[in-house]
Structure 1
């Protein structure tokens, strides 16, 4: 198209006029934001400090979240326009850094970086990663040695321990519970490999978090208990 008789062709103006209505009305956007703000974020064992992501509890999925929204709108804003699923999803994924938590196998920081890295990053990390895997193999061999010794002796203890998945309480699929702030319960387990005995040290968030002080306290209690057991066995003349 000639631009004002200049002989120049004007650019394509399709979709650039200012009289087009917003794809999602502001009122609808606000209703979605208000609803998302009602769903509490849960404490997760799998969330590492190096990530900024937040998580909903693992029983919640996007379809369930949208159904909660529709029911919430019917109950609290019956005369207002309800966002359709596509609109709700666009706002949720574009404006929020929240995921629906799915537990996965724990990886150490180096293994996680290597697994997620590009081909160039993996090539740069190849030597460090190879040494890391070699060290892991050596540690496993040492573990097997001590495991055998602990099975043969009453005074040698070989133990493995791990912080289990956070137990968010209460757990229910009743819609009301999704809006309740969850109560975090922590479960640190220690397994006596030689004796095939497991120990659980459980506390809730009013007592402590899941930091080094809490973990070391549980390990200390385990060592103290095992030490007292060894003393008792020695008094009985057991080796």
Structure 2
């Protein structure tokens, strides 16, 4: 069969020359997405307020949508918006909407669930060749981490036995976007960022929360 195809593509005017492949070069693609439709869902995604990554802002420029959103909800909102404003315009399919979402925007729905150690993350995502080069440093890093964890456990027990010793840990909770609602119009509104800095006394098992919103101050990025 491939010999028949080769024979058909032979340029009769130049012996031995094969006609160039013309696939994808015609202007009659029936499945091409009209520019107007593409722009309609670009405009819709751009209307959504975005937030920075809480955990890895110093290592990525990716931004995130409200945690209440997912792709089915986002596409549903798009259809509702188009029906309200452009009832006569062709709308994008779910597949088309998803494709533009992934290729034209550096945004995502899901935030990382926990803080990722830069060195562990680098080793985890390295090639096998690079892992061999990083193996010693990574092993030393893990050993140091285990030593620090042992020291923390030791200090925690000391704090439980003595009132003169305080062992505390602290963390800044992920951004609390308020208010929360499932009403469609809320998804297009910029939310108020609220911050919660928590200190936990490991000896007395008491926690202390310090709350403020972005009108009072912004959180300071940690150096890693």
- Using the size of structure 1 for normalisation, the TM-score is 0.83
Among candidates 87, 100, 103, match of residue 91 of structure 1: 100
Contact 2:64 2:111 in 1 (8 A): no
> Equivalents in 2 of 1:138, 1:175: separation in Å?
50
> Equivalents in 2 of 1:200, 1:19: separation in Å?
63
Partner of 2:3 in structure 1?
Answer: none
Deviation, 1:96, is: 0.8
Deviation, 1:21, is: 5.8
1:41 and 2:41 matched? no
Q: Which structure features the higher share of helix residues?
A: 1
1:135 and 2:144 matched? yes
Most deviating of 142-151 and 9-18? 9-18
Partner of 1:165 in structure 2?
Answer: 174
1:6 and 2:14 matched? yes
Contact 2:53 2:64 in 1 (8 A): yes
> Equivalents in 2 of 1:113, 1:167: separation in Å?
29
Partner of 1:155 in structure 2?
Answer: 164
Contact 1:164 1:187 in 2 (8 A): yes
Structure 1 residues 103 and 11: alpha-carbon distance in aligned structure 2, compared to 1, 3 A threshold: closer
Partner of 2:83 in structure 1?
Answer: 74
> Equivalents in 1 of 2:55, 2:179: separation in Å?
19
Contact 1:43 1:184 in 2 (8 A): no
Equivalenced residue count is 213
**Residue ranges of structure 1 left out of the alignment (5+ in a row):** 214-239
Contact 1:44 1:166 in 2 (8 A): no
> Equivalents in 1 of 2:134, 2:157: separation in Å?
35
Most deviating of 46-55 and 157-166? 46-55
Deviations 1:33-53 (A, max 9, x none): 110111100244224211121
**Residue ranges of structure 2 left out of the alignment (5+ in a row):** 1-8
1:24 and 2:33 matched? yes
Structure 1 residues 85 and 146: alpha-carbon distance in aligned structure 2, compared to 1, 3 A threshold: same
State the SS of the aligned residue for 2:163: coil
1:63 and 2:72 matched? yes
State the SS of the aligned residue for 1:200: strand
Deviation, 1:14, is: 3.6
Partner of 1:199 in structure 2?
Answer: 208
Structure 1 stretches of 4+ moved >4 Å:
none
Partner of 1:15 in structure 2?
Answer: 24
